[in-house]
Structure formats: C-alpha cells, structure tokens
Structure 1
Amino acid sequence: MKNLWLDIGNTRLKYWITENGQVIEQAAELHLQSPADLLLGLIQHFKALKLQKAGVSSVQDAKSNERIQKILRRLNIPVVFAKVHAEYAGLKCGYDAPAQLGIDRWLQVLAAARQPAQKYCIISCGTALTIDLADGLQHLGGYILPNLYLQRDSLIQNTKGIKIPDAAFDDLSPGRNTIDAVHHGILLGLASTIEKVLQQSPRQLILTGGDAQLFAKHLQAYAPVIEPDLLLLGLQHYSAHANAAAKA
C-alpha cells in the first residue's frame, strides 16, 4: 500500500511516498509562494503511483488550502488535512486558542510526546527555530525565534558597510573577523536560548529540521535525539487516529 504525505510550509513543499510504512521516495522543493502550482506539476507523477491515501500538513491560508485540496481530488483517494485540536489522540494543546498554533509544530509534538511520564523539549530548526515543551501528553506552549539565516539577513540589511557572505555556522568561539563574529554570535545566541530553556526545566531534547545536526553538535550535554522526519511521523499518527475514530 502506497501513501502520500505532504508538508506544505512557508517556503517549500516536501513530500514522502511510503509503502507499508517505509519511505520509498521523498523530495523537497521551494514553492516560491505558490505551492498549489508546484503541486499541480507533481500530480501526474502521484497519479501514476496508484496511491491509497494522502495526509497533508499545510501552513498556508484558507484560499491556498482550498486550491491544494481541489488539486488533490484528482488522485481519487481519501485525503486527511491535519488541523490543530484542543485535544487529539490524548495530546492536549497548550495554546489558549489552539487554531493559532502552527500545524507543523502540533504534528511534531504529536509525534514526539508519547510517554505520559516523560518531559519533552521539541525543537524544529527550519525557517524559524521553534521550541515546544510538553509534560507527557500536555503541550505547554513554546517559543519562536528567527533562524540562523533570517538573523544574518536582517543584520546585513540594517548594517551599512558590512558584507557577509555565506559561511558555516560551526563555531562558538569569539570571532576574530566580522564574518566569524556575526556567524558565531548568532549561533551562540540561539544555542544559549535552548540551554536556558533546558536549565529552567530539564527534559528530553528532540531536534528536527535542516539544522538539527548543527545544533546537536553544540548541545551534546543535553543528549539530543535527532528525528529528521518528525513531522512525517506526526502526520502518520494523526491519520491513523483519524481513521480509527472514523471506524469507531
């Protein structure tokens, strides 16, 4: 049985094809603010795979999501569009207004926070760096910060005379030139924020997203667990729970 899983974020569209629970194909592409157009270009490929069902996580607005749903109807398969609930599969949302929580964050917490007696710190190192805390199945809320590259770009745009080329964020030592000072300073700020959160309340650290390996390197004292496809796991769990509820 082949299934399609879509993660439609602010800047990119990522998909996974799974067969009997195993990922057999995956890709991620920038959608240039038009994810529906990108999806339209992929739909024939998806139709050829003879899929059984699809699950979707999308942070797009209602109008874009309507178009995405319309395109997916061409597959003639059941499609589950994930959304945030006050409580779902035993997990309780910590937001006063659950609909304001990003679906990507909700699914990542849903995937990670599975042990009632465990405390979790779930960090997504993507376009934004998001931090979500959970005590067992109780989501507590979290923090959102600009990621490494957004901070650097902001500095470049607002500082005359400083030209900062792409460089690796790989060191926390004091920079001995402007390029290193910028990169090391931004990384230090984000790593220190994570450490402060964990010092306030020790808990299992789970990292996901493109820069997870980078942050794990500087947070070894907290025994980080890296889950590259945490959102996929959350989307699969969400879909399974929705199917079970429909059959009950």
Structure 2
Amino acid sequence: MIQLKDLTLGYGRRILLDNVSARIPEGQLVALLGRNGTGKSTLLRAMMGLEKPQSGEIILQEKNVASLKPERLARNISFVTTDKVRIANLRCEDVVALGRAPYTNWLGQLQGEDLKRVDNAMRLVGMSGYADKTMDKMSDGECQRIMIARALAQDTPVILLDEPTAFLDLPNRYELCLLLKRLAQEENKCIVFSTHDLDIALSICDFIMLIDNPHLYALPTSEMVASGHIERLFHNESITFDAQEMKVRIK
C-alpha cells in the first residue's frame, strides 16, 4: 500500500532517516514508534506529501507521492493531527462532511452519496447520536472519534494519525486503538499512527515501524519483539518483554 524507497529525511545537516526502505501493508494497524524528536511526525508529513525528502521516494498506489496532484492525493490518503480540535459553531455532522471535500463540486455541495458516506463514517466510530452536537461540549475521546470519522468519510485507502491518543486516559487509549484496528481489518484500510504507548502498540497492532535514527525498522509485531530492536532503543528505561504475551514491563 505504501512503500518507502531509499528514503532520506532531515533538516539541513541533521539526518533523521538515512536511505531507509519499507513496505507498509494494507488491512493492518501499524504503530510508528520512536523516542521524542526522532522524526515520527516528519515521516507522517512526508507520507502526506507535506514534507519533501532529501532523497528517495514514497510510493502510494504505485505512484510517487511527490508527483500526485492535491486532489488525487486527498482521495488516497487522509491525516488526523495530534492537535485538539474544538469547533464551537459547527455540528459534528458538518465536521465529518468536510472529509468529502475532494469529491464535491466547486460549490462544495454534498450529493446523496456524500451524505451516505458521512452517515456511515459516524456509525463506524459509534458517534451517530452526536450528529447535531458541537465539539466544544464533548470529551477529548469523543472529539478524536469525530476526526477519525472525517478521515473515514474522505474514503481513502490510507489513514495516518499523529499521536491520536496523546490527550486520552489509559482506558480511552485502548478503546480508540481497538477501534482503529477494527477499521483497518473490516474496511481494509492501511492505518498508521504514531504513539509513545509501547504496551498498546505491542498488544494491539499488527505491524510496527520503529525509528532508531538514522534507521527505520518495519516488521510484524511478533518479529519486532523477537528482533530486540525496541529493547535496545529504550534500554535506559529498563524495558523487558514477555514474548508470549506480547507485554511490556517497565521496571
């Protein structure tokens, strides 16, 4: 679904990723891990075509992301940022409807198919009853579900999320990640999200991408645990793994 080919990312002389390659599968939930400042957000932005690589390519649907026009890109990949969104004067249904922008005419008019997509997206995230509510009166978890619904309404095969659990408590983090996994499997989406929650990533996600500057490791979760890459990267935090239960233990 997404392929990184000899990709180098960085700022000036600072190299975050150096000549890395990886293939990210569809129909799976993928966690992007790494220490603070290692380039997780930069990599997600590069996948969105918002950050220009120093060299190499990001291939989406067999096309170089850099060569895609904005409308074509918007029909293939959607992005949920880490920012808290609080829109006081816009109903949740209208926020989700913004995801249909790549498909509407120049007036932004929604057709019958667009309305069906919006309704279905809200149903998939369990927010159908919130259509007429405004996000300024909702919890962080509820708002995050609305933003995921907007991405679903955009109807892209790839969804990227930058730390979607950052402002949630632990039960809501698990609930949101379980929702993402269900959407990846049932809707056959490639869903990639950055996170610092190792335990959630290893217990829920199908695939792990790990940034250890300037390297990137991309493996199925069980293989990533067995490789020892995560334990080496986070060794200062005394992390150990139960390989059978796929659990993280921090001493």
TM-score by length of 2: 0.27
Higher relative CO (CA 8 A, sep ≥ 6), structure 1 or 2? 2
**TM-score in terms of structure 1 length:** 0.27
